[in-house]
Chain A
Amino acid sequence: MNVNQHTPMASPYGQPQPGYGQPNYAPLDGGYPASYAPYNGPASAYQPGVPPQGSARGPPTSAPPPVSAPQQYNQYSHSPADMQNGPPPMTQAPPRPAGSQPYGLGGGQPSYPQHYAPPPTMQQVTNQMGGMQLTSGPPTPAGLGYAPPHSSQPPISTSYQSAPQPSFTQAPPPASSAPTQPPPPNAPAASQQYYRGPPPPPQPPFNSALPPTSQQQFLSSAPPPPSQQTFPPSFSSSIPPPSCAPAPPVSQSQQPFSTPQPHFSSAPPPVSQPGFPSGPPPPAQGSFPPQPTPSSSQPGSVPPPGPPPTSVTSGQYPTPIQHQQQPPDSQPSPYHSGPPPPRFQMPPTVNHLPPGPQSPPGPQGPLQQPPSPQTGYPPQQNGAFGQTRSPQAGYPGPYPVQPNYGAPAPAPAPAAPAQKRLDPDAIPSPIQVIEDDKAKTNEPFVTGVRGQAPPLVTTSFHVRDQGNASPRFVRCTAYNMPCTADMAKQSQVPLAAVIKPLATLPPDENPPYMVDHGEGGPIRCNRCKAYMCPYMQFIEGGRRFQCSFCNCVTDVPPHYFQHLDHTGKRVDCYDRPELSLGSYEFLATVDYCKNNKLPQPPAFIFLIDVSYNAVKSGMVSIVCHELKSLLDHLPRENPEVDSVVRVGFVTYNKVLHFYNVKASLAQPQMLVVSDVSDMFVPLLDGFLVNVNESRQVIESLLDQIPEMFADTRETETVFGPVIQAGLEALKAADCAGKLFVFHTSLPIAEAPGKLKNREDKKLIGTDKEKSLFQPQVGFYNNLAKECVAQGCCVDLFLFPNQYVDVATLGVVPVSTGGSVYKYTYFQAQTDQERFLNDLRRDLQKHVGFDAVMRVRTSTGIRATDFFGSFYMSNTTDVELAGLDCDKAITVEFKHDDKLSEETGALMQCAVLYTSCSGQRRLRIHNMAVNCCSQLADLYRNCETDTIINYFSKYAFRGVLSNPTKAVRDTLVNQCAQILACYRKNCASPSSAGQLILPECMKLLPVYLNCVLKSDVLLPGADVSLDDRAYLKQLISCMDVADTHVFFYPRLLPVMKLESGSLPVAVRNSEERLSKGGVYLMETGLHLFLWVGASVQQELLLNLFGTPSFSQIDSSMINLPVLDNPFSQRLREIIDSFRAQRSRYMKLVVVKQEDRTELIFRHFLVEDKSASGGASYVDFLCHMHKEIRQLLS
């Protein structure tokens, strides 16, 4: 969305947009700072929601005409102070209603009013809303109770609980905002609390308030044009409708942006007013007219638009632009300031922006004051800003950005009128979105409604399965799929689902129930073989059922017959998981087993490299020592019972040593196989044993292995035969299982699968680069195939000191559903903990074997492509030798026919697997999404995180066959098309210079930029080929949560900590870091603790036990255990972070200005990267240019 929609947009949807606009756009100008200050003081409570918006818009609009701008500013400043309380509620209220209203159809309104009661205006709004809803209502309500949701926008879905309106709030963003809003006063308070904890008091209020509001507005804004229909229904929408009319003006206003300032000026004010005229007007003006209206307008129109247009027009209308910008800045500032760091920046910006200030000087005065106090920061920020801006500046005009974008960014600066800088705070902020989502999610997510987008992955929520799979199992890119292939093609939005079949559920959610349909096996559709699920329609009194996937009618077996009730549902519907839940398991019969034989319990085989390097690095002794205790924790389904998993041990260098650890032996026996050219397993009985029975022998073995090889001088290793050995062992034992390979070096010994060192930096960036990602020899592909056939999953732990060719070694693990762990330059002291934790987790985690996954879909779409760690021998079956709880598979769908809006699109993912106890099972996940014939609906129900997950996997696979540059360009291109399509078809008409982003996708550019900058696609000089290959395979099986944090790391200021809640994250940019601060960054793979150079002694004492910055030992791998609440809490946080991720993150303490800071900076993904990746701002500009090109 961003930029351009200053006010105009806002005005129509004022509310929604504002949220966005503010945060996103605000950054553009210095304006923010100003607003901040004022806000802080006065309206802290309110500011959040409304003020920002209002102000933001105001300014932009006004901006053009200095005069107007000032006014707006004034208003703003004032508004925060004065009106905030009043107006915000207004705006907020509407939004909620929107969400709630839909549901409320009937009684909803009343309820709302109550909620909003406080603000009278609200009622009005609600009324409006109500009206809207009603209209919308009809369609939705449809026959079914759920109907409403369907018909209406997603938010509606929440409707079910007509009674509990609050719940609705969740629905879409608006909902969330709603909650906060209802008690406008409360909201602020709450927000304050939040923020109080952290740092600047002023900010908190803003953030809290703003985000919600902004989002709402935003959302609304986004939809407005296209959705008008929906929109109105949705919520504040009520307002919109009326506003709708105004909306256009808004857009116009935007346009004016570039050209006629006057419009703006006029527009904004009018807009806001008009928007609310009915209800809001009074309050708006008084309290914060801006808030309601402006807010809305802001988001949409907001600063962002400013810049782009500026860029375009800049030459022509330098001045106006400036103004605009300024105002926006100021406006945004308030909002953004709300968030976090921006605030500080704000002030400086203000300073910088003389132009802006000029107009508003008077009014700003107050604003400025606040900034002044903050001065401490400003300077830094200024500096930061200056930098960032400069590029921005360039941005507007020439869009030199593009080039930057690709790779090394030539300084876009040229154009650079400082004025035009795009303020980072003005562009969509991930943090904001995340926080908004968190804030609005306070009720369990109920999956019963079709096409309802779940909360973000960053939000913790409870899920209630009512017919669709939990988002923990399945997440879709779009919850409202286009009906036709044409639409899909037009939008370019990937239709994909990220499925994590065995995902671990939080303890308070029930794991899938087990269903046993008896000897006949699960009941399935005769034609498409879909499994019994809630979508099946029973007909003819229950004697037959119609498959909702293929419409085939199948007889119900006698033993499964049940009568139907008056609604056509089976009477036992709620007694049977397969008829009422989205996820459940079937007990498979022997027909579902390999060779028609019930499977044996699986086996784990440990294959340990004992060459010189392995022994010397300490790996061997660590593994052996750890295994002794770890073997007691083999996976089991019933914790009361011993695991049935058998274990076996092999060590190897250039020959393999198998061990006979039969219980009856006094001592283990070693069997050396030196004929590695033709691998075989030398023994059967005694190789795979039950741990408890052979415990003594095993312990004796593990004690002796390090001793035996302590003096080894063998440096060569083999690799292919090692896996062959494990595979053969499993074959011999006729069971599935998992190999744990602990390997150190490039396998150069004479044997199958021997490799050469082919790392050649010169190839990077050339067309031949792709060959480096392809396996060196075909041997491993064939081996992988065999492994899959046997259900042999391979987990590879690498301890390389040099190039080991991960691209080749990883082939088997990746194809068998295994994992690769890499510990470069492994040293026992520093890496032991990480390795052991990984090993423990890897060993203990829930895992299934010999799995086959099949995704069935409604007629009309088809699963066409799959991404992840698996093997496919045909086009439909995903074969996974092993499938653990951390592995996700991304499935892409394509149309092969039309879908109907009525029935939506159904998908059923069935995974047939052998559990760790040796039971054959089918896990079924059902998912239903809506279908739409309007593109707007599609854009309103997307999930950016999932899209990014898909894009990253798609791109990373692309590097195998295309030059990385081409892959990057493809990504940018597709992204631009998505956004351009939105702009063209859904956004309200506005100047081409405006960058308008769909609410759901406003983070797409920033996240996409992170993907483009990743080491795989854009390697720095110090990134080895191994690292890239490693990341590539790692991403391929990540779920949405993992990719999210991987691409956009979580950066928490930890100067102040409270128990029970985490500090609000800050954006990944150096300018957000305070010299006096301490920040914790989590990327899913790394954990950094960044310590500013001028951190207070007290903090250092609390943290490190040393008062001096220089005495901090940056080589520490764990924080010292100190007995103070701060230290305890921080360590708690670190522990909880680690617990969330599938891989243990080693803590790296980064001192500012220290050598290691380079690495840390690499993860500040909004900044320009050393390897040439564009900064967020630059990229956004580039993206905008791309979009404009597409549009023209």
Chain B
Amino acid sequence: MSTYQEFIQQNEDRDGVRFSWNLWPSSRLEATRLVVPVSCLFTPLKERPNLPPVQYEPVLCSRATCKAVLNPLCQVDFRAKIWACNFCFQRNPFPPSYAGISEVNQPAELMPQFSTIEYIVQRGPPTPLIFMYVVDTCLEEEDLQALKESLQMSLSLLPPNALVGLITFGRMVQLHELSSEGIAKSYVFRGNKDLSSKHVQELLGLTKPAAAAQQGRPYGKAKVLINPERMFLQPVHRVDMNLTDLLGELQRDPWPVPQGKRPLRSTGVALSVAVSLLEGTFPNTGARLMLFVGGPPTHGPGMVVGDELKTPIRSWHDIQKDNARHLKKATKFYEGLANRSAGNGHCIDIYACALDQTGLLEMKCLSNLTGGHIVMGDSFNTSLFKQTFQRVFSKDYNNDFRMAFGGVLEVKTSRELKVCGAIGPCVSLTSKDACVSENEMGVGGTNQWKLCGLGPSTTLGMYFEVVNQHNAPVPQGGRGAIQFVTQYQHSNTHRRIRVTTIARNWADANSQIQHIESSFDQEAAAVLMARLGVFRAESEEGPDVLRWLDRQLIRLCQKFGQFNKDDPTSFRLSESLSLYPQFMFHLRRSPFLQVFNNSPDESSYYRHHFVRQDLTQSLIMIQPILYSYSFHGPPEPVLLDSSSILPDRILLMDTFFQLVIFHGETIAQWRKAGYQEMAEYENFKQLLQAPLDDAQEILQTRFPMPRYVDTEHGGSQARFLLSKVNPSQTHNNLYAWGQESGAPILTDDVSLQVFMDHLKKLAVSSST
């Protein structure tokens, strides 16, 4: 363990955990002074090819309030066959099956390399995965066709025993019965009527087993009642053909759309029906509800905008002016659905493809709370959607789907720590435990969260609080421990439990501040702080959030910076914090906190992904990566700065959501002149090809697939690049003007330079 860098990397690889601080201040007071809380990014299902799951169940601490899982940190008395819980210090006997345990014959969970271990629970019958398609039919013919093809394709990707269901909607909502032969049968619901779950189930004949049984008797047993739910959810292998045909015959919503009107789209009721159906038939079973929409809900509950085209869909401007009449009602409606769905362990994906907004702002909670995906595109007929959708069904090295359902994450901490909350695609299970802090950060007040849908990259930000009082110091060399217990339904239908136990040393902030400083993981910290900021942004005004972020940054700089009072030029930051201000600078400019130039839907979309991606991806989102390709040397990362934009360069920018290839002015001219076609300019052709290949590589792995932009100097799409780079040269900073060393950006935004200057000034200011 040479450097913290390596340590962090190793921890991340093994446990999927990155802490903001890798040494923990030993008292509450010190911890507060560190500004950045003790927190971590935790990826519960991080793929670990080299750690096979064990086929037995975990051994739990017998204390009812603890129930921690036996782990390598526990003290074990091999002779007495007793182990001591490292969280509550309860001494527990090993279960009989551990009779043969000894120093040389230890179970996996006791080995240090198994700080993260996965158990396969054999209890209970395996429940099949459930996929419910909820499809908008108010689409253009082309879009619908593409969507139909995608859906048909997806059928072949599903496990044969998975149950599928289909709901289509437009002005009406149609729940298709898949069991029927001959005549295709579907139940239709009015698109503008809010139906309670019970009502839906009644209408579908799902409730009243008693009555049915009574009535059924007299007629004899000639015909066994088909499970009503089976009418709507059928194993793929049985209805494959049927469903393919059904999708094939899917028509556009036939209701006429008068001129000047939007089609009536009853997204709300469709979702309501889907949620109610699943709720009534498969509660607490892994299910994925996939909503495909081509426009905003315009009909019935959950409508986001009226059907008058002359009334545009709400913008940030409207929202700030409290001028979005449907916003609150719709949001409330979808939150209700999301909570119900989350309660039942069903996750909801939203695939929204339209040029205009589709109401993601209101609907985002559906995915955010249930761990579903949100994919936003311009059309279903784009590779962006097609490939992204295909990737939902991607498989891992074991040929299992990279998706898990119905996860429950429980956190246990040693006594010096308490859990403040989590930020990520989860909902609270409101489980009050001793280790729950009253100080809430993110989704708090609990030590258990539900993650209805999760994948290998799903990452939560976990926030802790050191509760150890200053006057009761932790003994030297003491370690704090945190255990994450994640129970989930694996895509192969078995239930699994993954247990991650980590420990960090306590350090006295007074005496060991340097150590603590060097244990600072500025990347993790940046992301964790960003999540806090984004989380706040959901409920607070944008400027407030920025101000809070700035204050945190300033305080951090004051805490760890070396400077002379009131002398900005003397300000220095250690290496472990050197990048942090820059992250914050870009974060301030990012669409996660800035709504300018973004529609509410886009903001929701960006935030949705931001709070669930792992650290690397999150960092890319905060500060896009810029590569440069030129004849001057091999491809190299360059500063995300306007000065990097040179005529003889090709730039490749990855913002996570967009992949932009930018051809400098000269390159663009060459390309236009067709040099790449000439044999003697083979090298130019290769130069042009290089970023494409790299981009392709990113495109292949990224979920969701980024928007791919190929542009050049002066091109309209160059704005994607220009809006991201640090505007070091603008039309109003004269010293750069006229120099040929880059491209001036026409913006009033401050550049990093200005930002840093201010930061330094404020940090060293004695007045704060």
Report yes or no: B174 in contact with A685, Cβ–Cβ below 8 A: no
Which of A324-332, A548-556, A675-683, A1050-1058 has 4 or more CB atoms under 8 Å from chain B?
Answer: A675-683
Complex Cα distance A686/B253, Å? 11
Complex Cα distance A659/B186, Å? 10
The 8 Å CB contact of B254, one of A670, A675, A686, A704, is A686
Report yes or no: A682 in contact with B204, Cβ–Cβ below 8 A: no
Report yes or no: A674 in contact with B187, Cβ–Cβ below 8 A: yes
Complex Cα distance A485/B298, Å? 63
**B195 at the A/B interface (Cβ < 8 Å)?**
yes
**B1 at the A/B interface (Cβ < 8 Å)?**
no
**A1021 at the A/B interface (Cβ < 8 Å)?**
no
CB pairs A–B below 8 angstroms (19 shown): A655-B203, A659-B183, A666-B249, A667-B182, A669-B184, A669-B249, A670-B186, A672-B177, A672-B186, A672-B187, A673-B187, A673-B188, A675-B189, A675-B199, A682-B172, A683-B254, A684-B254, A685-B254, A713-B219
Measured CB to CB, the nearest residue on chain A to B256 is A684
Chain B positions 170 through 195: 1 when the CB is less than 8 Å from some CB of chain A, otherwise 0 = 00101001001011111111100101
Chain A positions 660 through 700: 1 when the CB is less than 8 Å from some CB of chain B, otherwise 0 = 00100111111111110010101111100000000000000
Complex Cα distance A421/B24, Å? 127
Report yes or no: A682 in contact with B188, Cβ–Cβ below 8 A: yes
Do A670 and B174 form a contact, CB below 8 Å, given A665-B249, A684-B254, A713-B219?
Answer: no
**A641 at the A/B interface (Cβ < 8 Å)?**
no
B184 CB to nearest chain A CB (Å): 4
Report yes or no: A675 in contact with B193, Cβ–Cβ below 8 A: yes
Apart from A668-B184, A674-B205, A675-B199, list 16 A-B contacts with CB within 8 A: A662-B251, A665-B249, A667-B183, A667-B184, A669-B249, A670-B184, A671-B174, A672-B177, A672-B187, A673-B187, A674-B187, A682-B174, A684-B256, A704-B183, A708-B182, A713-B219
Complex Cα distance A303/B177, Å? 80
A692 CB to nearest chain B CB (Å): 20
A697 CB to nearest chain B CB (Å): 10
Complex Cα distance A658/B188, Å? 9
Do A668 and B187 form a contact, CB below 8 Å, given A675-B193, A682-B172, A684-B256?
Answer: no
Contacting residues, chain B, for A682 (C-beta < 8 A):
172, 174, 188
B717 CB to nearest chain A CB (Å): 40
Complex Cα distance A672/B223, Å? 22
**B216 at the A/B interface (Cβ < 8 Å)?**
yes
Measured CB to CB, the nearest residue on chain A to B254 is A685
Closest 4 A/B residue pairs (Cβ): A685-B254, A682-B188, A674-B203, A670-B185
**A897 at the A/B interface (Cβ < 8 Å)?**
no
A126 CB to nearest chain B CB (Å): 77
Measured CB to CB, the nearest residue on chain B to A750 is B202
Q: Is the interface of B mostly helix, strand, loop or mixed?
A: mixed
Complex Cα distance A708/B223, Å? 14
Complex Cα distance A675/B180, Å? 21
Contacting residues, chain B, for A684 (C-beta < 8 A):
254-256
The 8 Å CB contact of A678, one of B182, B183, B190, B215, is B190
Report yes or no: A683 in contact with B185, Cβ–Cβ below 8 A: no
Report yes or no: B203 in contact with A678, Cβ–Cβ below 8 A: no
**A26 at the A/B interface (Cβ < 8 Å)?**
no
Question: Which of chain A's residues 261-320 have a Cβ closer than 8 Å to chain B?
Answer: none
A881 CB to nearest chain B CB (Å): 24
Complex Cα distance A662/B252, Å? 13
Contacting residues, chain B, for A678 (C-beta < 8 A):
190, 193
**A711 at the A/B interface (Cβ < 8 Å)?**
yes
Contacting residues, chain A, for B189 (C-beta < 8 A):
673, 675
**A474 at the A/B interface (Cβ < 8 Å)?**
no
A288 CB to nearest chain B CB (Å): 80
Report yes or no: A675 in contact with B203, Cβ–Cβ below 8 A: yes
Chain A CB count within 10 A is highest, among B185, B187, B188, for B188
Measured CB to CB, the nearest residue on chain B to A675 is B203
Do A704 and B182 form a contact, CB below 8 Å, given A686-B254, A713-B215?
Answer: yes
Chain A CB count within 10 A is highest, among B190, B205, B216, B223, for B190
Complex Cα distance A659/B185, Å? 9
Complex Cα distance A682/B188, Å? 6
**A701 at the A/B interface (Cβ < 8 Å)?**
yes
Complex Cα distance A673/B185, Å? 11
- Contact residues on A (Cβ < 8 Å of other chain), bracket: 20 to 34
Chain A positions 700 through 721: 1 when the CB is less than 8 Å from some CB of chain B, otherwise 0 = 0100100010010100000000
Contacting residues, chain A, for B183 (C-beta < 8 A):
659, 667-670, 701, 704, 708
Contacting residues, chain B, for A657 (C-beta < 8 A):
185
Question: Which of chain B's residues 49-96 have a Cβ closer than 8 Å to chain A?
Answer: none
Report yes or no: A680 in contact with B184, Cβ–Cβ below 8 A: no
Measured CB to CB, the nearest residue on chain A to B222 is A711
B252 CB to nearest chain A CB (Å): 9
A735 CB to nearest chain B CB (Å): 14
Contacting residues, chain A, for B249 (C-beta < 8 A):
665-666, 669
Contacting residues, chain B, for A655 (C-beta < 8 A):
203
Complex Cα distance A713/B220, Å? 11
Chain A CB count within 10 A is highest, among B183, B186, B187, for B183
B691 CB to nearest chain A CB (Å): 47
Question: Which of chain B's residues 198-253 have a Cβ closer than 8 Å to chain A?
Answer: 199, 203-205, 215-216, 219, 222-223, 249, 251
A662 CB to nearest chain B CB (Å): 8
Measured CB to CB, the nearest residue on chain A to B186 is A671
B362 CB to nearest chain A CB (Å): 24
Contacting residues, chain A, for B255 (C-beta < 8 A):
684, 732
Report yes or no: B215 in contact with A683, Cβ–Cβ below 8 A: no
Question: Which of chain B's residues 249-292 have a Cβ closer than 8 Å to chain A?
Answer: 249, 251, 254-256
A751 CB to nearest chain B CB (Å): 12
Report yes or no: A674 in contact with B204, Cβ–Cβ below 8 A: yes
Contacting residues, chain B, for A675 (C-beta < 8 A):
189-190, 193, 195, 199, 203
Complex Cα distance A704/B188, Å? 20
Contacting residues, chain A, for B215 (C-beta < 8 A):
713
B566 CB to nearest chain A CB (Å): 73
Question: Which of chain B's residues 412-432 have a Cβ closer than 8 Å to chain A?
Answer: none
Chain B CB count within 10 A is highest, among A669, A704, A708, A732, for A669
Measured CB to CB, the nearest residue on chain B to A687 is B254
B644 CB to nearest chain A CB (Å): 56
Contacting residues, chain A, for B256 (C-beta < 8 A):
684
Contacting residues, chain A, for B185 (C-beta < 8 A):
657, 669-672
Complex Cα distance A704/B184, Å? 11
Contacting residues, chain A, for B172 (C-beta < 8 A):
680, 682-683
Do A669 and B186 form a contact, CB below 8 Å, given A674-B203, A678-B193, A683-B172?
Answer: yes
Measured CB to CB, the nearest residue on chain A to B171 is A684
B226 CB to nearest chain A CB (Å): 11
Complex Cα distance A732/B256, Å? 10
Measured CB to CB, the nearest residue on chain A to B245 is A666
Complex Cα distance A671/B168, Å? 12
A555 CB to nearest chain B CB (Å): 42
Contacting residues, chain B, for A673 (C-beta < 8 A):
187-189
Complex Cα distance A680/B195, Å? 15
Do A671 and B188 form a contact, CB below 8 Å, given A683-B172, A704-B182?
Answer: yes
B212 CB to nearest chain A CB (Å): 9
A979 CB to nearest chain B CB (Å): 61
Contacting residues, chain B, for A666 (C-beta < 8 A):
249
Contacting residues, chain B, for A668 (C-beta < 8 A):
183-184
Complex Cα distance A667/B242, Å? 12
Measured CB to CB, the nearest residue on chain B to A673 is B188
Complex Cα distance A704/B219, Å? 23
Complex Cα distance A673/B215, Å? 22
Contacting residues, chain A, for B188 (C-beta < 8 A):
658, 671-673, 682-683
Contacting residues, chain A, for B216 (C-beta < 8 A):
713
A611 CB to nearest chain B CB (Å): 13
Contacting residues, chain B, for A659 (C-beta < 8 A):
183
Complex Cα distance A658/B184, Å? 11
Contacting residues, chain B, for A711 (C-beta < 8 A):
222-223
A520 CB to nearest chain B CB (Å): 31
B182 CB to nearest chain A CB (Å): 6
Contacting residues, chain B, for A686 (C-beta < 8 A):
251, 254
